[in-house]
Amino acid sequence: MDLNTARMKTISIILAGGRGSRLKQLTDQRSKPAVPIAGKYKIIDFPLSNCINSGMRRIAVLTQYRSHTLNQHVQRGWNFLRTDFNEFIELWPAQQQTGGDWYRGTADAVYQNLSMIRGLKSEFVLVLAGDHVYKQDYSLMLKEHLESGADVTVACIEVPVEEANQFGIMHVDESDNIIAFEEKPAHPATMPGKPEVSLASMGIYIFNTKFLSENLCSDAQDTESSHDFGKDLIPYFVGRSHIKAHHFSNSVVVNENYPQDAYWRDVGTLTAYWEANMDLTKLVPELDLYDENWPIRTAHYQRPAAKFNYNYEERIGTALNSVVSAGCIVSGATVEQSILFNNVRVNSYSYVNECVILPRCDIGRHCRLNKVVVDADCQIPEGTVIGEDPQQDSERFYRNEDGIILVTQAMIEALT
């Protein structure tokens, strides 16, 4: 089978039902894939864009937890495909199709939608997480899958061995056959010839549909299983099936004029989320969002251009080493190494440093904010100082062990 035919016979399943509790109050009212990121996007825009750019245009987004904002975003921003060409992006909410349970794990989420997958007469299933930030050409991974004749191919990335205990770690032979798998091992195995790195699963899989269907049905009957791909099915396949590792470096999208490493981030914690946004404020960010050959798409709304007001001695509207999105007004304030999402206003004499300010926030006059994530629709009162007194920050807001502070409107209202 040629690659173009295989792409048309592939259904891409994006798992987007998770709460993402480690992001704390950022996911109180939205699912993790719907969290804003990088100034104008939502996290799910990255796997969706990768699918479209890879030629994978039959896509199902599986939703469950507080999915309204995610549903709204996908419906408004991703409805441009041609159904007469058998292209689609569909929302598949949890419907208890196989019983009385909601999705019990990543494998169970796909199992509960097997009837729809079979109805599409697909031959391959690409399973993706909806909460990672990266650029990958899935068609190159599919090509490897076809050439190897594997039952399942797992995308893997090299990670420093000292960080490997945070991931599912693959043991591979010289032909990249997966010969063992360990979930978050205390003593991770290293790659052949590379003692400083381990090979970690990215949570991206390509299955032959028949093989996947048979094994999901078996797993559903296993009362000891947690019904998760990483914890249960992938380890079970090792030694029983033809399972291959696909190196992310073989399909990562890199602009030839833009030097960068293979960028992939699981933004599952507040620190990781803050760091992923801060990455984009660097002179040469590791993730290139300016590549016209691999655009990251999102929902677009009519907004004016960003505006900077005043040029007096102590009242200069300026942004340094920052990302300022459409609709923003920096009015006599200084913004440094920060990201302002759409429709943010920073008022006179305020200083914002290393901050992530989500949409529609208003920072009052004479405020000082350092290493703060401000949730959407916050009204920061005049004279507020955050990020200078750890004890005071912890009493008023959420402050994690890395000194990143999260502020929501509910926290602000609780102070009055």
CB burial readout 285-304, b (16+ within 10 A) else e: bbbbeebeebebebbeeeee
Q: What is the pLDDT of residue 294?
A: 94
Chain center to CA of 302: 25
Cα separations in angstroms, 8 against 209, 213, 410: 14, 19, 47
Q: What is the pLDDT of residue 94?
A: 79
162 is an annotated ligand-binding site residue? no
Cα angle 46-13-5, degrees, rounded to a multiple of 5: 95
The three-class DSSP label of residue 361 is coil
C-beta separation of 354 from 370 below 8 A: yes
- Reading the chain (416 residues) residue by residue, the pLDDT tens digits are 899 999 999 999 999 987 778 899 999 999 999 999 999 999 999 999 999 999 999 999 999 888 899 999 999 999 988 887 889 999 998 776 555 567 788 999 999 999 999 999 999 999 999 989 999 999 999 999 999 999 999 999 999 999 898 899 999 988 999 999 988 888 888 888 888 999 999 999 999 999 999 999 999 999 899 999 989 999 999 999 999 999 999 999 887 766 567 899 989 899 999 999 999 999 988 888 998 999 999 999 999 999 999 998 889 999 999 999 999 999 999 999 999 999 999 999 999 999 999 999 999 999 999 999 999 999 999 999 999 999 999 999 999 999 999 999 999 999 97
| CB neighbour class for 259 (10 Å; exposed up to 12, middle 13-18, buried from 19) | exposed
Q: What is the pTM of this model?
A: 0.94
C-beta separation of 110 from 13 below 8 A: yes
CB burial readout 197-224, b (16+ within 10 A) else e: bbbbbbbbbbbbbebbbebbeebbeeee
184 is an annotated ligand-binding site residue? yes
Q: What is the pLDDT of residue 104?
A: 82
Q: What is the pLDDT of residue 366?
A: 98
The three-class DSSP label of residue 356 is strand
Q: What is the pLDDT of residue 260?
A: 64
Cα separations in angstroms, 130 against 59, 156, 217, 307: 12, 17, 24, 33
Place of tokens 């993706």: 128
**Contacts for 250 with CB less than 8 Å, ≥ 6 apart:** 140, 141, 144
201 is an annotated ligand-binding site residue? yes
Domains and CATH numbers, the chain: 3-279 (3.90.550.10), 307-414 (2.160.10.10)
**Contacts for 300 with CB less than 8 Å, ≥ 6 apart:** 77
Distance, CA of 316 to CA of 100 (rounded, Å): 60
**Contacts for 210 with CB less than 8 Å, ≥ 6 apart:** none
Distance, CA of 132 to CA of 155 (rounded, Å): 13
Distance, CA of 93 to CA of 90 (rounded, Å): 10
pLDDT by residue (tens digit) across 357-378? 999 999 999 999 999 999 999 9
Positive or negative: CA dihedral 268, 38, 249, 294: positive
pLDDT by residue (tens digit) across 70-129? 999 999 999 988 887 889 999 998 776 555 567 788 999 999 999 999 999 999 999 999
- Residue 130: which of 65, 33, 34 has the closest Cα? 33
**Contacts for 313 with CB less than 8 Å, ≥ 6 apart:** none
C-beta separation of 378 from 412 below 8 A: yes
Q: What is the pLDDT of residue 99?
A: 57
DSSP-assigned letters across all residues of 231-254: IIIHHHHTTTS-EEEEEGGGTB--
